[in-house]
Amino acid sequence: MTNLKIAPSILSADFTRLGDDVREVLDGGADYIHVDVMDGLFVPNITIGVPVVKSLRKVFPSAFLDVHLMIEKPGRYVDAFADAGADLLTIHVEADEPQNITEALAAIRARGVKPCLSLKPKTPAALALPWLEMLDMLLVMTVEPGFGGQSFMADQLPKIRELRSMIDLAGLSCDIEVDGGIAPDTAPLVIEAGANVLVAGSSVFGKTDRAAAMNALRG
Ligand code: DX5
Ligand code: ZN
């Protein structure tokens, strides 16, 4: 697939040598750097936030920073992450009231950042429908958000297919990203279903040769 993109998740990097790990995947052909932001409320884990995005932007001025906000009421932080240098901001449809989701997505676009909407595994595809035209990307979670290294949920494949046909039927050019349990054995399944941006944490940073690990995902 020509527009296939690989987005290593730094959640599985070594935070004591984050710059080196990020440089290694960028040199090895990573398309995006995926940053998992968690607030301990929307998900039962706390990770990293604005200062890390700001530091990455400073050291890697041309890297594409794909920032995944797993936080309650994400609209509160659009300006902070836009100022820090995010290229794309993902918010969760479950994280606020519909009106606030609309406003947050519009605010992301207004800041010149690409808007993406994410669905947790139990959230049906149809819930994304009202926002489809506002989006550059949809993110289908293929694990329950919160932790790296979990097993891929194959029951999300029909949802990826459903969203891909909704996008195609509407004549839109929205990317579909998948996140969770993506490895050389599961990548072909999600690609076949219609995903074109693959987040991978443990299957890239858990390997000593990160370039080879990313090539294995490209198939
Ligand atoms: C989970 C995060 C993922 C996670 C993926 O909540 O959004 O980005 O780091 O990790 P792996 O690829 O190890 O499943
Ligand atoms: Zn993520």
Give the per-residue pLDDT at 2.
67
- pTM of whole model > 0.95? yes
Catalytic one among 21, 31, 36, 66?
Answer: 36
Whether residue 36 lies in the annotated active site: yes
**N- to C-terminal Cα separation, the chain:** 10
Q: Is the CB of 12 under 6 A from ligand 1?
A: yes
Residue 147 structure tokens: 């932790």
Q: Which ligand 1 atom sits closest to the C-alpha of 141?
A: 7
- Cα–Cα nearest to 87, from 36, 55, 53: 53
- Specify burial of residue 47 (Cβ count, 10 A radius: 0-12, 13-18, 19+): buried
Determine the atom of ligand 1 nearest the C-alpha atom of 144: 6
Burial 176-191 (b: 16+ CB within 10 A, else e): bbbbbbbbeebbebbb
**DSSP label at residue 152:** P
Using the atom order of ligand 1, give the atom closest to the CA of residue 45: 6
pLDDT < 70 regions, the chain: 1-2
> 147 CA distance to ligand 1 centroid (A)?
6
pLDDT value of residue 1: 57
pLDDT of the residue at 24: 98
Among 202, 204, 217, which is best to mutate for testing ligand 1, by the most ligand atoms less than 8 A from CB? 202
pLDDT at 137: 98
